[in-house]
Structure 1
């Protein structure tokens, strides 16, 4: 079949295309919020509504138009599995992973108007909390990161490169580091300085991005193989197990980084 960007499984390919199309839309929504200063003036309810409206199209649009592109029942469709996986992995990233970012990487949230919060009671120092809006925003962030990783990794895997079994983990790290660095860089702008920042931005860009990339080193390979072919479809239980496995692998790597690197 030769090198290809999109999955040979049409049920998966059209969803990946939609995720790409929607990516600049949610980015524009986030940029508008920062440019207008809405994140500093809106009430908690308005912030939650913006977050929900930003994340909802990733699930609702594929659900509404799926019949045009696939004959799969909704409970066995890739759009549901992709969103389910991202919800599981994103929940871990916010509920547990944020505590690591607060205490070890120097991340600071300043959203006094976002009073609805949800984060671990057991892990971390507890000096900061995670606004629920971050769960919504993380969903679309991770949607874009994972969709683009799938597309690039697939192109490389199908290009016939020698030694692909050894190169695949390298490619996973490079793509993961790229997105970790890009997100960190995007957050390091004056528009967000009063709401979000890292105490030591230079260290975060140089070293913290590699630690953040552990999320994607654990997750990209698992997410990649969900329904990659029409013959090997995953059940919803397998999808949840995959998201939980990626979460636990990330937890181990973050703990290892804490032992080796310590706090920035």
Structure 2
């Protein structure tokens, strides 16, 4: 039977919450950027905004979804989904950002965000990664992965022939869609004082495809976390999955850097 949501009710409820929350965090980010207060507030205020942007993805399921759970909270899907995203999102910022700085000319301009965290050995080191980006990434990636789960599930349960070939095609399509959407949303004149690309044509030509490597590596791993209630993942398996997706992305980013070359 074709279905959009998981047969595991614990997972289905959390995915629905992630979808409900998505326009809320998007509105919060848009308000911050368009009003310009990301430039007028200090580091502490920005960190609080980042924390409050990511926190509902954790707190609401923790407080509400347990009504729907038929397991101990340490075995709950909301915990595993967020744990996976912490692992994968950390890699994306700590290591992955360096490729976007040096290969695609991405620039963060947040002089008031003084708390930074990024790799010491990967990349040129010319730009730091503001700590707030780790919290924003958590919200972004929760939405991207939840929508990917829903589309992939619909395809897998539809009975369409040739699933072995169709599944990776859909993974790439959904990954490229979100990569393109984020690139399009971020690379606009209204945000140029905070975020821009040194070479817009280069970014438009290669950037979305390179960013999509994150999701090509991650979506098929994340999809199977607790997809069946009787086949739950352990927390160790979730962490291993996040680390595996991170390493695969590392390889793909470096291969892309050979293809595109540095600025």
Please give the range of the TM-score, normalised by the shorter of the 2 chains: over 0.9
Secondary structure class of the residue paired with 2:196: strand
Quote how far apart the aligned CAs of 1:67 are: 2.3
- Relative to the length of structure 1, the TM-score reads 0.98
- Cα distance in 2 for partners of 1:104, 1:110 equals 17
| Unaligned segments of structure 2, at least 5 residues | none
Correspondences of 1:230-245 after superposition (within 5 Å)? 230-245=229-244
Quote how far apart the aligned CAs of 1:121 are: 0.5
Quote how far apart the aligned CAs of 1:105 are: 0.9
The corresponding residue for 2:254 is 255
Number of equivalences: 263
Correspondences of 1:206-217 after superposition (within 5 Å)? 206-217=205-216
Quote how far apart the aligned CAs of 1:261 are: 2.1
Correspondences of 1:146-185 after superposition (within 5 Å)? 146-185=145-184
The corresponding residue for 1:135 is 134
Secondary structure class of the residue paired with 1:92: helix
Secondary structure class of the residue paired with 1:147: helix
Secondary structure class of the residue paired with 1:167: helix
- Relative to the length of structure 2, the TM-score reads 0.98
Quote how far apart the aligned CAs of 1:91 are: 0.1
- Cα distance in 2 for partners of 1:73, 1:197 equals 45
Quote how far apart the aligned CAs of 1:258 are: 1.1
Q: Is residue 85–residue 142 contact of structure 2 (8 Å, CA) maintained in 1?
A: yes
Moved over 2 A (4+): none
Quote how far apart the aligned CAs of 1:226 are: 0.2
* RMSD over equivalenced CA pairs, Å: 0.8
Secondary structure class of the residue paired with 1:213: helix
Could you give the per-residue CA deviations for residues 149-190 of structure 1, whole angstroms, max 9, x where no partner exists?
Answer: 000010011111110011111110111011000000000122
| Unaligned segments of structure 1, at least 5 residues | none
Q: Is residue 66–residue 73 contact of structure 2 (8 Å, CA) maintained in 1?
A: no
Pairing 1:187–2:186 present: yes
Quote how far apart the aligned CAs of 1:206 are: 2.5
Quote how far apart the aligned CAs of 1:207 are: 1.6
The corresponding residue for 2:218 is 219
The corresponding residue for 1:67 is 66
- Cα distance in 1 for partners of 2:176, 2:205 equals 11
- Cα distance in 1 for partners of 2:236, 2:204 equals 37
Quote how far apart the aligned CAs of 1:201 are: 1.9
Q: Is residue 100–residue 106 contact of structure 2 (8 Å, CA) maintained in 1?
A: yes
- Cα distance in 2 for partners of 1:137, 1:180 equals 15
Correspondences of 1:96-135 after superposition (within 5 Å)? 96-135=95-134
Could you give the per-residue CA deviations for residues 127-160 of structure 1, whole angstroms, max 9, x where no partner exists?
Answer: 0000000000000000000000000010011111
